[in-house]
Amino acid sequence: MADDLPDDSLFMRRALDLALLGTGYARPNPLVGCVVTHRGRIIGEGWHRQHGGPHAEVNALASVADQSLLKESRVYVTLEPCAHHGKTPPCADLLIAHGVPEVVVCNDDPFPLVAGRGNAKLRAAGARVETGLLAPEGRWLNRRFFTFHEKKRPYLVLKWAETADGFLAGRYFQPVAISGPQARLLTHQWRAEEQAILVGTRTALHDNPHLNVRDWPGPNPLRVVLDKNLCLPPAHHVLDGHQPTLFYTYRQRPDAPNRAYATLSEADDLLPQILADLWQRQVQSVLVEGGPTVLNALLNAGLWDEIRVFRSPQKLGAGVAAPRLGLSGLRSVENVGDDELFRYVNW
Complete DSSP assignment for 155-203:
EEEEEEEE-TTSEEE-GGG-----S-HHHHHHHHHHHHHSSEEEE-HHH
* Of the candidates 245, 246, 298, 291, the residue with the CA atom closest to the CA atom of residue 269: 298
* Of the candidates 163, 162, 144, 164, the residue with the CA atom closest to the CA atom of residue 154: 144
What confidence tier does 175 reach under pLDDT thresholds 50, 70, 90? Answer: confident
Which of 45, 57, 194, 289 is an active site residue? 57
Is 266 catalytic? The answer is no
pTM: 0.91
Whether 77 shows a pLDDT value over 70: the answer reads: yes
What confidence tier does 24 reach under pLDDT thresholds 50, 70, 90? Answer: confident
pLDDT digits (tens, 9 = 90+) for 182-223: 999 999 999 999 999 999 999 999 999 999 999 899 899 999
Average pLDDT over residues 97-111: 95
pLDDT digits (tens, 9 = 90+) for 220-254: 999 999 999 999 999 999 999 999 999 999 999 99
Q: What is the model's pLDDT at position 2?
A: 45
* Terminal alpha carbon distance of the chain: 42
Count the Cβ atoms, other than its own, within 10 Å of residue 339. Answer: 24
**3-state DSSP helix/strand/coil % of the chain, to nearest 5:** 30, 25, 45
Whether the CB-CB separation of 155 and 305 falls below 8 Å is answered with yes
Q: For the domain bounded by 155-345, which CATH number is listed?
A: 3.40.430.10
**Domain residue limits, the chain:** 2-147, 155-345
Q: Which fold has domain 2-147?
A: Cytidine Deaminase; domain 2 (3.40.140)
